[in-house]
A and B are shown apart, each in its own frame.
Chain A
Amino acid sequence: MKRTIPILITFITGGIIVLAEFIPPWAILREHVLIYFQIIAVFAFFLGGGSLLKINCQKVVRKREDWQFAIVTLVGFFIMLALGLFKMGNPEMVDLGFAADLNASGSWFKNVFDAVKAPLSASMYSLLAFFIASASYRAFRAKNSDATVLLVSAFIILLGQTFVGVVSTGWMPEWMSFFKVENLSLWLLAKANLAGQRAILIGIALGIISMSLRVILGIERTHLSGGDE
């Protein structure tokens, strides 16, 4: 029973959602499934957030390595939670009560967002500039013919975007204009790149159809058939 019902639920839900694509009166079910997911995800946060708190509390109580930083996480979590849930300092609270916009300008929630979360995100994101440099260096030591093709293609596209690249082939006569780096990079992007993208996208679609079928038909069920704990 405990194993069969989840597999049945997956089968029925998946089947209905596929059919709903072709049955107009069922279209509403597809819309609701998306909202259902959001609601379930909020409930699931009690489990996820609970795990986050548990692990950090354990770190502090058992004085594990780096336990001091767990305190910072816990304090940050509770402060932000309180600021948001109670909409503290939210200027719209006066008129609207709890219907006030969570991210209203001037609210403490928004202030912490601007001063802490936004810059942290942006900084972490900008680290990519360094990592793409080290990855490029790695790609330069092309290990095999495939990697060489990747490298040459990347190099042409990169050159095509830079002034140096354009100047370097500027001397070419008109009949060789195809090989001017800016034209060559455009051609690579618009033709060869497009072909590869299409092959990947069609492959992905087939992969998803096949995996979805395996899941719906209950052949792929490792994620559901947990024992009778």
Chain B
Amino acid sequence: MPDASPIGIFIAGLLTLGIFSFLYKDNPVYKVCEAIFIGVSAAYWAVEYFYSALYRKFWLGVFPPAGSGVEADLLLWGGAILGALMLCRMIPKINWLSRWPLAFIVGATAGLYMMLFFVSNAMKQIESTMQPLIQDSLLETLGSFTIAIGTITGLIYFFFSKEHKGIFGGAAKVGIWVLMVTFGASFGYTVMSRMSLLIGRMDFLFNSWATNFGQMF
């Protein structure tokens, strides 16, 4: 926050300390920070959605400004009607109507994700795994075998309708180890980046905030 006001930095520092106090135990200062956070952020997103979705996407879509040359998108009314049905929830007699927009969203999400993941996850990953097993060096060859066998045994672990015993069970066991190596790798990889988050916050407290504090008083 290079251009933040001294008061802004001062408040930011207090709130930072308030959140950190939770590490010791739940306390009134944390509760105040939490309460402010909930109130302010809920309103923040309410306003953000109001202007970005309702005003910019819907309103300017169906009533484009004169002279902009954009045609009114009448299909957008569908969204508004579904949205209005959502509000029927507040009227006891017709609150069952609110299930319609919900049904719409659930259906649309199911359809969208089915295709998205089929292409980007299933097809793409299968395609990327089709690599020559024998490579230029022994190490690379070992790597190719690891990827192919690891992927296949990992998939075997996920089998639901076949009991994990015998050779199949052995393969599933290798599969879960492959998954555990993967989790360990992500875990180890993330530790440092999380530390840097804390360092960033400490830097704010000890530099920006402390300096500002000195200047204010």
Question: Footprint of B on A, CB under 8 Å?
Answer: 2, 5-7, 9-18, 20-21, 28, 30, 32-33, 35-47, 49-50, 52, 66, 69-70, 72-81, 84-85, 102, 105, 109, 111-130, 132, 136, 139, 146-147, 149-158, 160-161, 178, 185, 187-206, 208-209, 211-213, 215-216, 223-224, 226, 228-229
Q: Complex: how many Å from CA A21 to CA B200?
A: 44
Q: Does B197 contact A (CB under 8 A)?
A: yes
A69 touches B31 (CB 8 A): yes
Contact A205 B35 (CB under 8 A): no
Contacts of A195 in B (CB 8 A): 146-151, 154, 178, 182
Q: Do residues B20 and A36 form an inter-chain contact, with CB atoms below 8 A?
A: no
Write the chain A residue with the least CB distance to B205.
A123
Verify if B107 is at the interface (C-beta below 8 Å from A). yes
Q: Are A9 and B104 interface neighbours, CB within 8 A? A: yes
Pairwise interchain contact B53-A15, C-beta atoms closer than 8 A: no
Q: Is B134 on the interface with A (CB-CB < 8 A)?
A: no
| Interface SS, B side | helix
For the complex, what is the distance from the CA of A170 to the CA of B179, rounded to whole Å? 29
Say whether B187 faces chain A, with CB atoms less than 8 Å apart: yes
A-B contact pairs, 11 of them (CB 8 A): A14-B114, A39-B76, A72-B36, A73-B39, A76-B39, A80-B47, A114-B4, A119-B204, A153-B182, A196-B185, A199-B150
Q: Is the CB of B105 within 8 A of A37?
A: yes
Partner of A6, one of B99, B115, B190: B99
How many of B's residues come within 8 Å of A, CB to CB? 122
Our pick among A117, A146, A187 for the contact of B37 (Cβ within 8 Å) is A117
How far in angstroms is the closest Cβ of chain A from B66? 14
Interface centre among B92, B102, B152 (most CB of A within 10 A): B102
Residues of A within 8 A of B23 (CB): 127, 130
Chain B residues positioned under 8 Å from A73 (CB to CB) = 35-36, 38-39
Q: How many pairs of residues, A versus B, come closer than 8 Å at their CB atoms?
A: 412
* Residues A115 and B12 in contact, CB atoms below 8 Å apart: yes
Q: Which residues of B contact A39 (CB under 8 A)?
A: 53-54, 57-58, 76, 79-80, 82-83
Given contacts A149-B181, A153-B185, contact A40 B105 (CB under 8 A): yes
Say yes or no: is B11 at the interface (Cβ < 8 Å to chain A).
Answer: yes
Is the pair B5, A111 in contact by a Cβ cutoff of 8 Å? yes
The 4 A-B residue pairs with the shortest CB-CB distance in the complex, in nearest-first order: A199-B154, A195-B150, A196-B182, A153-B184
Q: Within 8 Å CB of B191, what residues of A?
A: 132, 136, 154, 158
User: Do B100 and A9 touch (CB < 8 A)?
Assistant: yes
Show the binding face of B for A, using Cβ within 8 Å.
1, 3-5, 7-9, 11-13, 15-16, 19-20, 22-23, 31-54, 57-58, 61, 75-76, 78-80, 82-84, 86-87, 89-90, 92, 95-96, 99-108, 110-115, 117-118, 121-122, 125-126, 128-129, 139, 142-143, 146-155, 157-158, 175-192, 194-195, 197-198, 200-201, 204
Smallest CB separation, A185 vs chain B (Å): 8
- Min distance, Cβ A31 to any Cβ of chain B, angstroms: 10
Contact A209 B114 (CB under 8 A): yes
Contact A216:B16 (CB < 8 A) given known A36-B82, A44-B86, A105-B3: no
B16 CB → nearest A CB, Å = 4
List the B residue with the shortest CB-CB distance to A216: B110
Cα A149 to Cα B1 in complex, Å, equals: 43
Q: Which residues of B contact A72 (CB under 8 A)?
A: 32, 35-36, 39
Residue of B nearest to A103 (CB): B48
In the assembly, what is the distance between CA of A155 and CA of B49, in Å? Answer: 43
Partner of B89, one of A6, A47, A112: A47
Give which listed residue, B1, B103, B114, B179, contacts A10 with CB less than 8 A: B103
* Complex interface: chain B residues within 8 A of A228 (CB): 96
Task: Determine the chain A residues whose CB is within 8 A of the CB of B185 once the complex forms.
Answer: 153-154, 157, 188-189, 192-193, 196
A12 & B154 in contact (Cβ 8 Å cutoff): no
Task: Provide the residues of chain B in CB contact with A189, threshold 8 Å.
Answer: 185, 189
Q: Which residues of B contact A121 (CB under 8 A)?
A: 41
A202:B43 contact, CB within 8 angstroms: no
- Given known pairs A10-B103, A150-B180, the reply for A69 and B96 (CB within 8 Å) is no
